[in-house]
Structure 1
């Protein structure tokens, strides 16, 4: 084993990449080309920070990133070492000089919406769930409804988490929201039908409905959610996100929910309610699911993609029993199904309370990140949708939003804009800032960069206590 070596690394504050990303990238390349050999002891975070004249946090976070990727190995009381990895390296003498590449995707601060934090989970519970799932023999005739035991557990979960009184007969286990929405479209739409989607809204819903032959109708939303007045009377289906409108973040109030259901009853339309992140609320009481107010006119979709991980691939469709039977029959006819072993693993997580514990832990974690976003960006722009979910909207003039997205990317921060989520001409402008998949430290660092860029943009002023928004 070689002893600690002085690292010939230098960082540039003029670069668009964060210092942490630069350091992690340099170390990663040094381990790939053999500059740092397996077993090599790295300097302590304190000594390397002093050498580079940076904060100790920069070095600590770079080391933590490389620990997570498996490049480093920590030995209690001994220090930090290069892990013994099987990496094919070119001969040192034949390796031409190559300028340092821009930050790799793993090194960016990703503030785009739609993804949860997947690095903090109970490893023992996860392994236990999969071991027990593996004990079961593979099935040769998977049911299109889903495993009976999982349907029972999901019914209980929905009663506790969303106040929806359902039984297993109301539930079909899907592979996620997109799969559930496609099954609804398969059963309810077709050539010559019209389907409504929120505008701005979830673009995948438009794609799915069009693929099933429907004409897609853009339905405007305001700061509370879908606007009921003026909804067409000939829609077969309306897709909506009432718990936390995507992407603007509104929560559909009770009076408007009642008007929406009255519209559905009068027109015969089916409302497809996407409950994608309703488990996460901050400073507000939960609103009832639309499904619970009128099960005859609503199909409720949910998923573990936001609560656990997108890779799990399990969701649910809740509807009237006769509709569930119809959808199950169509599902079998097209050979669609949800993996049995994956369903069984979720059964194990639910039976032992592991999913509930994970949800409680992540509510606290996301609340801290949400608070950081509000603290750092609230003074420089108007924020929407910060009472629930895993993202907020920062309203900005269109030219400023586009400029901030591009300049943030050059500084290593990935963002999404509202414009992309409109069906036609954009009416609302700004940024959709996700805080689910970035660490708290990255959320803070990314939001500081955004605050600087927003303040530097034309037509933007700091919000004061009497201001209604951050736009002039």
Structure 2
């Protein structure tokens, strides 16, 4: 084991101690004071030497492991693996554009990733083993497996208050895939209103199906229902937790939207992508509960379990369900039954309910960590106390500030996304960052938030 060169820690700095320690070890490797193959002290020994908690040293080591500067050997310790010469920070990493293959930074603060850190490995393995027990499918089931639809019906009743029976449900491959199918049902040239800013993948799916898309502005009360233009055949929205702004559709606007849908024969597509993750306030009733005859309700397992499952669900009026089944029959398409089996098995003996309780507690704690990290920087945290992301607003609306922060975080090895990436019609917008806090372990998140706080402070 080598002696690590002195690492000065400034306890008065806004930069977390774990980030300072990781920077110090990284700089020692760049200077040649640490060389490939050198073994670092244990996290306990390093903590004792520096007079800090072991949580600090463990978080710093996790960051260095994630960046590839060190690696762990079981029973042997942690060893330096590289000594780059390009500078003391991790080299900038190109962020792949949607649909591209490419490397991403080691840490991510992007929204949309699930928190798999709280997933019970024993329950997860048990679900996969149970999913293999039924006989192998010998013919397609376009509506989805009966066990999956029954599990989803129970889940919706218990966790979202939606009394939908299994016959009312269709399995999907997730929210985006369901929107794509609905776009094909609506047909080429159908005018669909969407939130602006909003979920760009849904917009892309609708456009790929040949639909014409028109943006409707969103504010702190959700979509501006009065701004929905005449002539629309459908409205896509995220009323429980608007993506990305984090607001919820106000009760008055919910009533107005339902009334317009009934009067104008509008189909409302309600994407409830993370509606289970409320942990401070009770959610408003689902639109599908208020007006099931004009609302298509979408849900997904990707935000509450894992994207590996690849399963979602749709509750729709009979005419839409029939059209979807006809489309699947004519095209030979259907969602994969494998993920449906896993979800049904995971829900069968209460594992899903227990997981959701753990997940809500963890998301609340992580949101508190984010607020504590951001508060000293002058940026504000906006959005409902729900889900797994917030929007950060700068103290001044400087046009270039959003891109500057995203670029700087990328140079630190942290992937982040600005509000501009959630616009689909262009134009000026108030700057902000859409920050997710579900990815990685708690220690990994702490490191990423340290970089975020330091970057926001430096660009203030």
Q: Which range, TM-score by smaller chain? A: 0.7 to 0.9
Establish whether residue 310 from structure 1 lines up as the match of residue 312 from structure 2.
Answer: no
Report the TM-score, using the length of structure 1 for normalisation: 0.81
Establish whether residue 6 from structure 1 lines up as the match of residue 2 from structure 2.
Answer: yes
Shift of 1:411: 2.7
Shift of 1:383: 2.3
2 CA distance for matches of 1:19 and 1:82?
15
Unpaired segments of 5 or more residues in structure 1? 28-32, 84-88, 90-94, 459-472
- Count of residues in Structure 1 that have an aligned counterpart in Structure 2: 428
Q: What SS does structure 2 have at the residue aligned with 1:317?
A: strand
2 CA distance for matches of 1:453 and 1:24?
18
1 CA distance for matches of 2:312 and 2:61?
36
* Change in 2 beyond 3 A, CA 1:428/1:165: same
Determine which of 425, 429, 433 is the counterpart of 2:427.
Answer: 425
2 CA distance for matches of 1:447 and 1:99?
26
Establish whether residue 209 from structure 1 lines up as the match of residue 206 from structure 2.
Answer: yes
Determine which of 109, 115, 118 is the counterpart of 1:117.
Answer: 115
Shift of 1:347: 1.1
2 CA distance for matches of 1:395 and 1:434?
14
2:42 paired residue number: 44
* Change in 2 beyond 3 A, CA 1:123/1:442: closer
1 CA distance for matches of 2:55 and 2:164?
49
1 CA distance for matches of 2:113 and 2:155?
22
Establish whether residue 439 from structure 1 lines up as the match of residue 441 from structure 2.
Answer: yes
* Change in 2 beyond 3 A, CA 1:150/1:25: farther
1 CA distance for matches of 2:58 and 2:154?
43
1:240 paired residue number: 237
| 1:222-272 deviation line (CA, Å, top 9, x unaligned) | 111100113112111111000111111111121110100111111111011
* Change in 2 beyond 3 A, CA 1:375/1:10: closer
1:362 paired residue number: 359
2:96 paired residue number: none
Shift of 1:304: 0.7
Shift of 1:449: 4.0
Q: What SS does structure 1 have at the residue aligned with 2:116?
A: coil
Shift of 1:333: 2.2
| 1:55-99 deviation line (CA, Å, top 9, x unaligned) | 7445423555759x9964656xxxx5479xxxxx9xxxxx9x964
1 CA distance for matches of 2:239 and 2:116?
25
1:409 paired residue number: 410
1:30 paired residue number: none
The 8 Å contact of residues 18 and 412 in structure 1, kept in 2 or not, is answered as no
Within 5 Å, give how 1:249-264 maps onto structure 2.
Answer: 249-264=246-261
1:151 paired residue number: 149
* Change in 2 beyond 3 A, CA 1:45/1:210: same
2 CA distance for matches of 1:279 and 1:152?
18
1 CA distance for matches of 2:371 and 2:174?
30
Q: What SS does structure 1 have at the residue aligned with 2:214?
A: strand
2 CA distance for matches of 1:25 and 1:455?
22
Within 5 Å, give how 1:309-388 maps onto structure 2.
Answer: 309-378=306-375, 380-388=378-386
2:98 paired residue number: none
Q: What SS does structure 1 have at the residue aligned with 2:433?
A: strand
Which fold has the larger relative contact order, with Cα–Cα distance below 8 Å and residues 6 or more apart in sequence? Answer: 2
The 8 Å contact of residues 189 and 236 in structure 1, kept in 2 or not, is answered as no
The 8 Å contact of residues 390 and 436 in structure 1, kept in 2 or not, is answered as yes
1 CA distance for matches of 2:26 and 2:131?
37
| 1:185-230 deviation line (CA, Å, top 9, x unaligned) | 111232x221111000011122111111111111111111100113
Within 5 Å, give how 1:14-33 maps onto structure 2.
Answer: 19-20=21-22
| 1:133-152 deviation line (CA, Å, top 9, x unaligned) | 22333213121111011111
1:183 paired residue number: 181
Shift of 1:450: 3.4
2 CA distance for matches of 1:145 and 1:274?
19
2:297 paired residue number: 300
Within 5 Å, give how 1:84-163 maps onto structure 2.
Answer: 99=85, 102=91, 108-163=106-161
Shift of 1:54: 7.9
Report the TM-score, using the length of structure 2 for normalisation: 0.83
2:222 paired residue number: 225
Shift of 1:11: 7.5
1:395 paired residue number: 393
| 1:32-60 deviation line (CA, Å, top 9, x unaligned) | x9837xxxx86322334567898744542
